[in-house]
């Protein structure tokens, strides 16, 4: 074998090793991203055996698989209020699943494509109603309304009623806590997502068969809102990948949502 052939062979080996190492470096995910998740919002987000679970969790996990060449995405369950505070103080990158409250939460921007539309309703004990509250005078005996801590889900009518003293708001930890208080008539009404509340009622009935739940009825639709992943505003110095991640996550989420829509249409 001539020196020229040996030299060419060595160059080929070096080139193969270099390109292999180069491709391996860039084949690995470049960023680890944590999304905070409400730990007490079934069936959308909750904790099951210590792990995040729920409709939105499954959706984001599917989307994450479409972008795992660049990002490792971790979902970390937290109490809702703590998650909101983390974004407000710039201590977290993203939170799921807030509604859009651009003016009241200026520290969250932007929001992802919609995950789903939720219907927020009021459930009340029989004989009590928030319907047409604007025409009633309940200031002497305000209607006690339960909310999940940190959730801003009142429409303009109920918000005004609260300012006028017609209703009194009570923030409780989660859906389970509110349903228990509603069943024990410690609150008169409870405002939350319809599906989440119905599951809460079912769980309370299973765990506390002694409680009377037949007097609790759906009273009125409060509002319809889409849920999202909300990102901390600015913070490009801390999260230089922010814009790229949001774009790729939106594309991945939309692909998953489109595929699910096609599956449902073909069933």
| Contact predicate 23/75, CB 8 Å | no
Please give the distance of CA 65 from its chain centroid, rounded to a whole number: 19
The set of long-range contacts for 86-89, using a CB threshold of 8 Å and a minimum separation of 24, is 86/36, 87/36, 87/230, 87/232
pLDDT digits (tens, 9 = 90+) for 193-243: 999 999 999 999 999 999 999 999 999 999 999 999 999 999 999 999 999
Is the entire prediction scored with pTM above 0.95?
A: no
CA 67 to chain centre: 20
Half-sphere exposure of 189 (CA within 13 A, CB side): 28
* Better-predicted residue by pLDDT, 267 or 30: 30
Label residue 17 by pLDDT band (50, 70, 90).
Answer: very low
- Mind listing the pLDDT tens digit for each residue in 67-87? 999 999 999 999 999 999 999
The strands making up 167-172's β-sheet, listed across from edge to edge, are 167-172, 143-148, 189-193, 117-125, 216-226
Neighbours of 263 (CB within 10 A): 9
């Amino acid at each position: 074998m001539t020196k020229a052939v040996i030299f060419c062979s060595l160059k080929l080996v070096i080139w193969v090793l270099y390109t292999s190492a180069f491709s391996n470096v860039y084949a690995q995910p470049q960023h680890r991203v944590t999304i905070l998740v409400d730990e007490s919002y079934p069936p959308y987000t909750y904790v099951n055996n210590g792990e995040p679970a729920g409709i939105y969790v499954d959706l984001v996990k599917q989307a994450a698989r479409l972008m795992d060449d660049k990002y490792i995405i971790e979902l970390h369950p937290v109490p809702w209020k703590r998650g909101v505070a983390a974004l407000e103080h710039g201590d977290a990158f993203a939170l799921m699943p807030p509604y859009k409250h651009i003016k009241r939460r200026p520290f969250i921007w932007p929001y992802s494509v919609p995950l789903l539309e939720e219907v927020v309703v009021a459930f009340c004990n029989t004989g009590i109603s928030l319907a047409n509250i604007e025409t009633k005078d309940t200031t002497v005996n305000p209607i006690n309304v339960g909310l999940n801590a940190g959730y801003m889900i009142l429409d303009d009518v109920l918000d005004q009623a609260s300012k006028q003293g017609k209703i009194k708001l009570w923030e409780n930890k989660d859906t389970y806590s509110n349903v228990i208080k509603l069943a024990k008539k410690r609150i008169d009404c409870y405002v939350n997502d319809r599906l989440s509340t119905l599951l809460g009622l079912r769980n309370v009935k299973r765990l506390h068969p002694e409680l009377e739940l037949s007097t609790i009825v759906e009273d009125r639709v409060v509002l319809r809102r889409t849920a999202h992943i909300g990102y901390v505003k600015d913070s490009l110095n801390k999260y230089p990948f922010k814009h790229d991640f949001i774009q790729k996550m939106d594309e991945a989420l939309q692909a998953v949502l489109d595929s699910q829509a096609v599956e449902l249409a073909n069933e």
